[in-house]
Structure 1
Amino acid sequence: MTVETIGWNTAQRRGFGELIARSWSDAGLRLRYEREPAEVLAEYDIHLAAGTTAPALPPSPGELVVETFNAAEAVPPPPCMLSICFCLQPDVKR
C-alpha cells in the first residue's frame, strides 16, 4: 500500500514524510509505529479511515546524514544529494 492509494492530501503526505525521516534516526519511534501506528499517525495529524491499514515505514537508508539548514544563508539552496529530502523543524511540538 502506498500513500497515494489511501487518498491522503498533501499535508498528510508531508506529515508522513516527516514521520519517515524521524523514524530513520529514532528507533524508538519506529518501534512505536510498528506497535501502534494509528496513535503515532494521529500525532502527525493523520487519521486513518475505519478499516484502513497503516502503510509500512520504508527501510532506513544505508547512511543517513543530518545537517542543520538555514534557508536565509543558502542562496541558491544547496543541491539535494539524496532521492528523498525532508526539512525537520525541531521546535515544532508534536
Structure 2
Amino acid sequence: MTVDTIGWDMTQRRAFGELTARSWLDTDFKLRYESDPLSVLAEYDLRPAAGQDAPALPPEPGTELVIEMLTGSAGAVPPPPPPPCLLSLCFCIYTPRGALR
C-alpha cells in the first residue's frame, strides 16, 4: 500500500508528507512508524480505510532534503505556521583579548 493508492485527499497527503519528512530526519520516529504505524498515523489524524494497511514510507532521498513553506497566490488562505525547528546550528567566532596584534 502506498500513499498514491490509499485514496487520501490533499490535506491527508500533506500530513503524510510531513510524517515522511520527519521519519527521514528522526530515526527513532521512523522505527516507531515501522513497528506501530497505525498509532503514528493517528498522531497526524490519518487513518487508513477499513481493511487497508498503513502506507509504506517512501525511501529516503539520495540527495539533500530541503523543506520549504510555500505561499499561494494573492487572496489564498495563509499557510499554517512552520513546524518547530528540529535542528539549528550556531557558528560563533571568538577571539580572546590580546590575541590580535
TM-score by length of 2: 0.62
Give the direction of change, closer, same or farther, for the CA distance of 1:70–1:34 in structure 2 (3 Å limit).
closer
Pairwise CA distance, 1:65: 4.5
Give the direction of change, closer, same or farther, for the CA distance of 1:28–1:9 in structure 2 (3 Å limit).
same
Q: Which runs of 5+ in 1 are unaligned?
A: 72-87
Other-structure match for 2:33: 33
Q: Which has the higher contact order (CA 8 A, sep 6+)?
A: 1
How many positions carry a matched residue from both structures? 75
The whole-number CA distance in structure 1 between the counterparts of 2:18 and 2:31 is: 16
Q: Which runs of 5+ in 2 are unaligned?
A: 71-81, 86-101
Query: Whose Rg is larger?
Result: 2
The whole-number CA distance in structure 2 between the counterparts of 1:66 and 1:22 is: 12
2:83 to 62, 79, 89: 89
Q: CA RMSD in A?
A: 2.5
Other-structure match for 1:47: 47
SS in 2 for 1:3: coil
